[in-house]
Amino acid sequence: MAVSVGRVEAVGVEIALRYGLNPHQTPARAVAHGASPFQVLNGAPGYINLLDAISAWQLVRELRVALDQPAAASFKHVSPAGAAIGLPLSESLERAYQVEGKELSPVAAAYVRARGGDLVSSYGDFAAVSDRVDASLAMVLRREVSDGIVAPGFDLDALEILGTKKGGTYLIIQADPDFEPPLLEQRSLFGMTLEAPADRAPIVPALLDTVVTQRKEFPPEAVRDLMVATIALRYTQSNSVCVAADGQVIGLGAGQQSRIHCSRIACGKADRWMLQQHPRVLSLPFVAGMKRPERFTAREQFIAWAELSEPERAYLRAQFREAVEPLSDEERGDWIGGFTTSLSHDAFMPFRDNIDRAQASAVRYVLQPGGSIADAGVTAAADSYGMTMALSGLRLFRH
Give 136-194 pLDDT, tens digit per residue. Answer: 999 999 999 999 999 999 999 999 999 999 999 999 999 999 999 999 999 999 999 99
Decide if 239 is catalytic: yes
Rounded Cα gap, residues 109 and 139, in angstroms:
12
CATH number of 14-177: 3.40.140.20
Could you tell me whether strands 171-175 and 184-189 are parallel, antiparallel, or unpaired per DSSP bridges?
unpaired
Residues of the chain with CATH 1.10.287.440: 279-326
Out of 239, 269, 345, 354, the active site residue is 239
Which helix or strand (DSSP H or E) is residue 295 part of? helix 292-303
Residues of the chain with CATH 3.40.140.20: 14-177, 202-275+335-391
Decide if 354 is catalytic: no
For 60-81, the pLDDT digits (tens) are 999 999 999 999 999 999 999 9
Decide if 261 is catalytic: no
For 84-128, the pLDDT digits (tens) are 999 999 999 999 999 999 999 999 999 999 999 999 999 999 999
Give, in words, the CATH class of 279-326: mainly alpha
Give, in words, the CATH class of 202-275+335-391: alpha beta
Decide if 77 is catalytic: yes
Query: What pLDDT sits at residue 13?
Result: 59
CA 121 to chain centre: 9
Instruction: Tell me the residue length of the chain.
Output: 399
Nearest residue to 252 (alpha-carbon basis) of 126, 262, 395: 262
Query: What pLDDT sits at residue 2?
Result: 39
For 274-333, the pLDDT digits (tens) are 999 999 999 999 999 999 999 999 999 999 999 999 999 999 999 999 999 999 999 999
For 25-54, the pLDDT digits (tens) are 999 998 887 788 998 999 999 999 999 999
Query: What pLDDT sits at residue 3?
Result: 41
CA angle 204, 210, 213 (to 5 degrees): 125
Out of 49, 76, 165, 278, the active site residue is 76
CA angle 93, 97, 102 (to 5 degrees): 90
Three-state secondary structure along 176-233? Answer: CCCCCCCCEEEEEECCEEEEEECCCCCCCHHHHCCECCCCCCCCHHHHHHHHHHHHHH
